[in-house]
């Protein structure tokens, strides 16, 4: 409770796996960053993720997600999209007043908070897959900027934060039998297809990516989730030099929640950048998540999800 939420952009290129620190994130958002390759926004508050990475660049829709986490949420990245127009993530960070404050850009911080390790996963990889930090070092940078659980004006980060609702695990006899979930992110890119396998005894979903068990390099554990939330958003590609993507993160759309071995069809709504994305069931009642970590999978409208 002495710090504020920490968001870290983590690479998910197939050559960057296994990544570090994801298993200790409270919430993970996954969406395509470019060319069918997904990227992760791992959010830490209740747990210290230890070494985290590889850290990658900012994208505008991930800014919309981290903006939900109270005033001046910590946002960690290595540079970012900065072409003129709606995908200008670095420009937006400045517009929001985050620069050199709650924005933790490796370009302005450097070593020893960030470092490169070319052989962390046991063999040499491309430079873009080599940047790491630790949750502790990043929280320390924030503390040095007078950003703990309060800001430099004494305002607590969660004064205007809307919490999601939670419930306890149901008994095993009350759990469902929806045993697997699978979906693609991009046609023809099987390396980024995701499957979640449900274990009824532990009430946990175990993650596979590209047909392989997806693990955390720090502890060799398979990535798990108590709740898997699939949100369907409008996706469009910009005709800029980098062919950046945009997602319709504000408004409403369809959503499917998997928890307790059950499938719940409903909707999501997010009024503006700083408002919490709320997930509701088919009757319009806000979902109560099972207590534990949450993965939010952002898919283009119309994507098929098998279960």
Q: Hey, what long-range contacts does 217-224 have (CB within 8 A, 24 or more apart)? A: 217/18, 217/19, 217/20, 217/120, 217/121, 218/20, 218/21, 218/23, 218/24, 218/50, 218/51, 219/23, 221/23, 223/22, 223/23, 224/23, 224/293
* Confidence (pLDDT) at 35: 86
* Confidence (pLDDT) at 279: 98
* Confidence (pLDDT) at 19: 97
Name the average pLDDT for the chain: 95
Is residue 7 within 8 A of residue 74, CB to CB? The reply is yes
Q: Which of 3-7, 185-189, 220-224, 245-249 has the lowest mean pLDDT?
A: 185-189
Per-residue pLDDT tens digits for 86-117: 999 999 999 999 999 999 999 999 899 999 99
Instruction: Tell me phi and psi for residue 240, to 5 degrees.
Output: -90, 180
Report, as an integer, the average pLDDT of 248-277. 97
pLDDT of 281 > 90? The answer is yes
Q: What pairing do the DSSP bridges indicate for beta strands 165-167 and 131-134? A: unpaired
Label residue 189 by pLDDT band (50, 70, 90): confident
How is residue 20 annotated by DSSP? B
How is residue 144 annotated by DSSP? H
Residue 80 CA to residue 59 CA, distance in Å, equals 6
Task: Kindly state the percentage of the chain with pLDDT values over 90.
Answer: 91
Residue 295 CA to residue 180 CA, distance in Å, equals 15
* Confidence (pLDDT) at 188: 85
Report, as an integer, the average pLDDT of 38-56. 97
Report, as an integer, the average pLDDT of 22-28. 98
How is residue 223 annotated by DSSP? P
For residues 78 and 188, the model is more confident at 78
Predicted structure pTM score? 0.96
Label residue 261 by pLDDT band (50, 70, 90): very high
* Confidence (pLDDT) at 242: 67
* Confidence (pLDDT) at 241: 61
Per-residue pLDDT tens digits for 124-172: 999 999 999 999 999 999 999 999 999 999 999 999 999 999 999 999 9
Label residue 283 by pLDDT band (50, 70, 90): very high
């Amino acid at each position: 409770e002495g710090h504020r939420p920490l968001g870290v952009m983590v690479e998910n290129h197939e050559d960057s796996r296994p990544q570090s620190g994801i298993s200790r994130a409270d919430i993970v958002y996954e969406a395509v960053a470019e060319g069918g390759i997904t990227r992760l926004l791992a959010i830490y508050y209740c747990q210290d993720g230890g070494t985290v990475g590889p850290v990658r660049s900012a994208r505008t829709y991930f800014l919309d997600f981290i903006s939900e986490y109270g005033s001046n949420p910590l946002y960690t990245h290595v540079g970012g999209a900065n072409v003129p127009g709606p995908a200008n993530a670095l420009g937006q960070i400045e517009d929001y007043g985050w620069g050199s404050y709650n924005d933790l850009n490796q370009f302005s911080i450097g070593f020893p908070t960030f470092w490169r390790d070319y052989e962390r996963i046991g063999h040499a990889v491309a430079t873009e897959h080599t940047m790491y930090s630790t949750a502790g070092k990043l929280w320390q940078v924030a503390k040095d900027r007078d950003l703990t659980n309060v800001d430099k004006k004494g305002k607590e980060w969660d004064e205007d934060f809307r919490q999601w609702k939670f419930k306890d695990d149901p008994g095993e006899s009350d759990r469902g039998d929806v045993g697997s979930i699978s979906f693609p992110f991009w046609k023809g890119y099987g390396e980024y297809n995701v499957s979640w396998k449900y274990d009824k005894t532990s009430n946990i979903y175990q993650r596979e990516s590209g047909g392989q068990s997806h693990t955390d390099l720090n502890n060799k554990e398979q990535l798990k989730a108590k709740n898997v939330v699939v949100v369907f958003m409008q996706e469009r590609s910009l005709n800029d030099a980098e062919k950046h993507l945009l997602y319709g993160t504000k408004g409403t759309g369809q959503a499917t929640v998997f928890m307790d071995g059950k499938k719940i069809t409903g909707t999501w709504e997010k009024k503006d950048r700083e408002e919490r994305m709320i997930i509701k069931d088919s009757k319009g009642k806000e979902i109560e998540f099972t207590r534990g970590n949450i993965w939010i999978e952002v898919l283009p409208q119309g994507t098929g999800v098998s279960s």
